[in-house]
Amino acid sequence: MNAEIIAVGSELLLGQIANTNAQFLSKNLAELGVNVFYHTVVGDNPHRLKEAMKIAEERSDLLIFTGGLGPTKDDLTKETIANHLGKELVFDQKALFSIQQYFERTNRDMTENNKKQALVLEGSQVLANDHGMAPGMFLSRNKNHYMLLPGPPKEMQPMFLLYGHPALQAKLTNKEVILSRVLRFFGIGESLLETKIEDLIDEQTNPTIAPLAGDGEVTLRITCKHHSLTAAETLIKETEKKIFERVGTYFYGYDDTTLVKELTKKLQEKGLTIAAAESLTGGMFQQEITSITGAGKIFHGGIVCYTNDVKQHILHVKESTINQDGVVSEKCAKELAENVAKLLNSSIGISFTGVAGPEELEGKPVGTVHIGIAREGKPTEVETLLLAGSREANRKRTVNYGHYFLLKALEE
């Protein structure tokens, strides 16, 4: 079965809200073995919606609509579909009773237009709305299937999972599953990674391999279609093993994880604590690590040492280091990492010093970065980078590199 998701709402076209419904539905349809080849967004206009439907009916078996089921005049989805399919709209008594009960519970007057939400396409399977008012619908005509879902994600998602998913499953004759796994890499560019696995991509059939560029990182999505979930998992693991043989050094996690999540997890597993001394990053490392649940167990604190005075008098960087080597130096990064760990009684100290831009500092070019990592019982390491990009991009990438270098050090 091939599906098309049609999101209805002018607010989507105006950029006022993001179309997260399509993302949710695509992921869940893949698990059913349903291909999603098109996402369409249409404003609150019956003529354009009807035109979009005609196109979708020619190229897709399943049309899923989100939005436009509410009580206002611009909620025209089911009216337009009813007109297009030659169907009547009839009241679903269960939905109408539920709407009336809601207004009674909240001690509010029910206006006439709210009854409109209980109208459904004649002959359709009604999908109950346990978290709102407007029910969904599912019906088939000739070769096409139509599913209508509400726009608010808090209503749409549970409705699809509880009622839409089983309705589709009952229609599927080919019980295949589509399984995907995302591999995340850092420290290697997209072009180099692709070059190293080019033959695997060229030879792909099932599973398929799709490179995706991210924010300073690269991801590979492996997708397999099979009648057996176990067989699909085995095929993905085999492909994953071949990839790791080429670029496994740069791998850090799966699916929706992030560098900072993996770092926090690793620190918790090892029972380690960390403190940070930040110059050019200005507290960004501390902000990211404290955004993760459970950070209080591993993060002791940090010092934003933007000036030389703070580096010298708070973090005790030697005056000779500042005068002879400069603050943008491996020696300064080393002392910052070691001293912040001691000051804040942490098993690990990490430091960031460098030139974010837009001008040189101490004769060092923009993008020069030193990251110090001091660990108990280990020699202090300093990683040096030369980044290219805007001031903000350099700061962000520096923090990501800090996560990555520390994560790799802890995995040794």
Domains in the chain with CATH codes:
2-171 (3.40.980.10), 177-254 (3.30.70.2860), 259-411 (3.90.950.20)
pLDDT digits 0-9 by tens, 365-405: 999 999 999 999 999 999 999 999 899 999 999 999 999 99
Q: Which of 1-10, 87-96, 97-106 has the lowest mean pLDDT?
A: 97-106
Mean of pLDDT over the chain: 93
pTM of the model: 0.71
Percent of the chain with pLDDT over 70: 99
Residue 210: the pLDDT is 87
Among the residue ranges 81-95, 133-147, 198-212, the one predicted with the least confidence is 198-212
pLDDT score for 343: 98
pLDDT recorded at residue 367: 95
Instruction: Using the predicted structure, report yes or no on whether residue 327 has a pLDDT greater than 70.
Output: yes
Q: pLDDT category, 215, cuts 50, 70, 90?
A: low
Residue type, 175: K
174 Cβ partners below 8 Å, 6+ apart? 1, 33
Could you tell me which of 47, 24, 15, 16 has the C-alpha nearest to residue 150?
A: 24
When pLDDT is averaged across residues 112-121 and rounded to a whole number, the result is 90
The CA-to-CA distance between both ends of the chain, in Å, stands at: 47
Which pLDDT belongs to residue 412?
81
Where do the DSSP E strands lie in 206-363?
A: 208-213, 218-226, 251-254, 274-278, 299-304, 348-354
pLDDT band (50, 70, 90) for residue 107: confident
Residue 212 in this model has a pLDDT that exceeds 80: no
Of the ranges 67-71, 211-215, 273-277, which one carries the lowest mean pLDDT score? 211-215
Short-list 13, 23, 8, 16, CA closest to 70: 8
Nearest to 409 by CA among 242, 263, 309, 273: 263
pLDDT at residue number 378: 95
